[in-house]
Structure 1
């Protein structure tokens, strides 16, 4: 019985999440809709340069989808950690309800931001 409980716990998305994600606070979900990702532009051109291969859609619960497939994420406090699927391992800082900033491998905010465009 104990081995069965341990196996079920190991299969849980929380078991595969980094400790920092779990320590961030109460689990939440992102607003549903399409998130368009971009880099800042410059004064001589567009204000933002879209990165279509980074776009994703937040579906029901803690699920998302991209052109490459579906997966799950955890939102704890201000950190969004993609735990399964094509974006597994990517982390974002939640700037506002529908705006995320991609975190680099050291957990520092990068230049890429993703903004919810519609429900």
Structure 2
């Protein structure tokens, strides 16, 4: 009985490993992310929001008009973890395209990486 229980516990630990690794930590491409709100059919395609824009400087650091800080990427979510943007989160839509999370859902503000 004890061997069976021990085998079941060992198997569950082995199977839980891949499930726990699904929220892998990563980085996003370095560069300047220009943020904007959608425009309308009669005007500009996007309305620039320069105070929301930021630059990814290294594997875990960002710079913004308000100051510098760090970020954490888990799967398709980018979260500012220190500095003036602490707590801001973005959904990673593509390699160069982010959408700011508002009230737990992707909002209207989009940030697009400029340059190469």
User: Does TM, normalized by the shorter one, top 0.5?
Assistant: yes
Deviation at 1:61, TM superposition (A): 1.2
Deviation at 1:24, TM superposition (A): 6.2
For residue 110 of structure 1, what is the aligned residue in structure 2?
107
Unaligned runs of 5+ in 2: 1-19
Counterpart mapping for 1:26-41 below 5 A: 26-41=24-39
- Number of matched pairs: 97
For residue 61 of structure 2, what is the aligned residue in structure 1?
63
Structure of greater Rg: 2
Unaligned runs of 5+ in 1: 1-21
Deviation at 1:23, TM superposition (A): 8.2
TM-score (norm 2): 0.79
Give the ranges of 4+ consecutive aligned residues of structure 1 lying more than 3 Å apart after TM superposition. none
- The separation in 2 between residues aligned to 1:84 and 1:52, in whole angstroms, is 20
Aligned alpha-carbon RMSD (Å): 1.6
For residue 51 of structure 1, what is the aligned residue in structure 2?
49
TM-score (norm 1): 0.77
